[in-house]
Structures are given as structure tokens and as C-alpha cells.
Homo-oligomer: A and B are copies of this chain.
Amino acid sequence: MTNIAKRHEPIRLAMIGGGPGAFIGPVHRIAAQLDGEFKLVAGTFSSDPQRSLQAGLSYGIECDRAYGDVESLIAGERSRPDGAELIAIVTPNHLHFSAARAALDADFSVMSDKPATATLAQALELRDIVARASGVYGLTYTYTGYPLVREARARIAAGEIGVLRKVVVEYFQGWLAGAPEQAGNKQAAWRVDPARAGMGGCIGDIGVHAFNLAEFITGHQIIEINPQLDVMVKGRSIDDDCTILTRYDNGATGYIAASQVATGERNGLTIRIYGESGAIAWRQERADRLVLTAEDGTQTILWGGTDALGPSAGEASRLPSGHPEGYFEAFANLYRDMARKLRGGDAPLLPTIQEGVRSMAFVATSVERNGGGWTSLQI
């Protein structure tokens, strides 16, 4: 490979997963290329070689770079002078680990969709692999890419609301309130299947986002949890609803509530953090604003793209305030961070395998200790 740092051209990207009917694959593809930092050049988009080829062509990939399996992709791209440099992993959860391991072992950098792995043991092993790898490993906890999330983190770190006391995170969706997995919905099918989703259902799919967001914004670790996971729709073997009471390393308390059977909710991720001298709140569905509340109840609303924001949020916006940016752009910020790292720079906000390990510990402990009261989450 040529030296990425000294190049003007886009970094070459391959993708594992993301074929027809996928949700997160197209998001990675659009987000990675949005700023011109990456160019998709190869991939194995489906385990069916014909479908992989077809998908590749539709994405503008040359036909000999649409591979039928991961091994061929890695071997093929490794052998080319213009081979891929970063591999995005966008498969169902159970394939994340093996793909990441193979890619890292072959000196590729990796951008993995969350969760990092299907089990905690895998996550711990992957941490070791990353530690000795030549490539960079990034994990797309999407919501850390939103400008106002970064602003919230910066303000809390600066002490703007004082010592934190209470952290409430909710992630409510309703799309599994019926039983779409029985009606041919592929996205639903693998998420309710422990063989492909991992041991956690709702907690593994979206609970981890809430967990990661809480630790990202607060800058504190959750050290004890009291988990309650439930199956609300008959016939499922893994949770579709959960509430986890939490204690943070500084004494703050709170809860993480996630559900995929909250009928009618779309992508209702919200976080509210109460400190001794103020509060801060963010709602993903209105991602371009941050609400600060003073002790007397007066609220200050900060809007994305304004001069009121600090540098971490400022860098993460592309448009003047009032011109909404959204999910693709948040995702693109993670890829921008990855590009910066690959070019030798610093990108401290990009989630790493460390966040992957903590998230998997959260899932594993919640599942194992479901309904059993308080337990430690130190890892």
C-alpha cells in the first residue's frame, strides 16, 4: 500500500456485508464517501457470489473486486498495489469478530459496526488482536458522531453542570412490537435470533448504543448495574425490552431503558444528565439541538452549526445552522475521524475496541444477571 498520510486521493475502502436489503451497509457506504475521504473499491456484499457481484456492480465496483467470501476479499485486495486499505464490517453481529480478526491479521484497518463482537470473550480476544495489529480499529457507535453529542461531552467535561448525579438514557423503538420476523422482515429475523444477534436482543441491538452514549457523554464509567430484561412478544427467546438501573464511578445513579416493542416509537434515543448545578439533555430525533437547564428551570437551547458551540461540535457540522444535518452526517463524522487516524492524526472521539469491550460486558452481565439485583460491571 502507498502511504495514506501523504496522499491526496481518497482512502480505498472494502466492505463486508451490505448487500441488497441491508440497512446499515448503505449507511456506511454513503457516510464513508460523503466527504470524499474514502472510495469504495471492493467488497463481499453477500455470501451468495452472484448477489455479491450484482451488488458490487450497482455500487460501481469493478467486477473482479466483488468477492464471494471474506477470505477471497482479503487475499485479493492484499495482493493488489491499489488494494483496499480500510475494511468496513457491516454484517449481522455474529460475523463481526471473525471478519475483524481476519482483516486485522492481514494488516488492514477495520471499521466495524457495533457491537464489536457477539460475546464478551470475543471482545476481549479482539482487544488483544487490535493491540498487536498494524491497522487501526474503529467501532461505529453512531450517536457519538452527532455534533451536539460531542458538545454535551465537552460541556460536562468542563464542569458546566457540576458533579453529575443522575443519568437517564432511553432508547425506545416500536418496530418489533408486532412480530415482523414472522412476516419475512430480514432485519427483524436476525435480530431476534440468538445465533446471529448474540445473547442479547434489544439490549445488544440498541441497549448498547444507550450504554455507550451514557459513558461517552458523561465521561464516567458505569460500575454497577441492576438489570431487568423481558420478552414481551411471545415466541422470542431473547429480550425485546429492558430496563437497567445504573451506578456510575462518581456515585451518580440512573437507568438505561431500551425497548423494541414500544409501539409507535421510531428511533427514540434520549439522554438527560442532571448535575449539581444544571442539566443537559439531547434527543436523537431532534439531533441538532442541545438543551441546558439551569437550577431555576431556565433553559438554553443550543443549535448545531452556531458559534455557540465549541470546536468538537463545530468541526462535526458542514452547514450553516438551520440547515438540518442528520444520521448520515453523524455517521460520516466517524469516518472522518477514521480518515484522520489513518492519515496519522488524532481522533480521540472515535470509539475503539475498548468501548467494544465495555459494551459487551454490559450485554453479557445484563443477560447473565437478569433480574438478580445489583452486580458489578468493572472490567
Contact = CB atoms under 8 A, between A and B. Distances in A.
A354 interface: no
B261 A165 contact: yes
A131 B315 CA distance: 44
Interface string A238-267: 000101010000000101010101111111
A274 B297 contact: no
Can you tell how many copies of this chain the complex includes?
4
A124 interface: no
Contacts of A278: 263-264
Contacts of A296: 264, 306-308
A375 to B, nearest CB: 12
A190 interface: no
B326 A323 contact: yes
A57 interface: yes
Contacts of A372: 373
Contacts of A299: 264, 300-301, 303
B264 A274 contact: yes
Contacts of A328: 34, 318-319, 325, 328-329
Given A166-B259, A265-B293, A298-B308, A174 B58 contact: no
Interface stretch (A22-30, A90-98, A114-122, A338-346): A22-30
Contacts of A274: 174, 177, 259, 261-265
A297 B174 contact: yes
A232 interface: yes
A295 B264 contact: yes
Contacts of A266: 297, 303, 305-306, 320-322
A324 B323 contact: no
A306 to B, nearest CB: 5
A294 interface: yes
Contact of A177 (B168, B226, B295): B295
A353 interface: no
A184 interface: no
A175 B294 CA distance: 11
Of the candidates A35, A296, A373, the one having the most CB atoms from chain B within 10 angstroms of its own CB is: A296
A250 to B, nearest CB: 12
A377 interface: no
A120 B277 CA distance: 36
Interface stretch (A80-88, A105-113, A133-141, A279-287): A279-287
Given A58-B8, A255-B243, A303-B297, A267 B322 contact: yes
B257 A230 contact: no
Contacts of A262: 166, 272, 274, 279
A178 B266 CA distance: 36
Listed from nearest, the 3 A-B pairs whose CB atoms lie closest are A267-B322, A266-B322, A264-B293
Given A166-B232, A266-B322, 19 more contacts: A8-B60, A9-B60, A10-B60, A30-B35, A33-B36, A173-B322, A174-B295, A175-B320, A263-B275, A263-B278, A266-B320, A267-B320, A298-B300, A299-B300, A301-B301, A318-B328, A326-B326, A372-B373, A373-B373
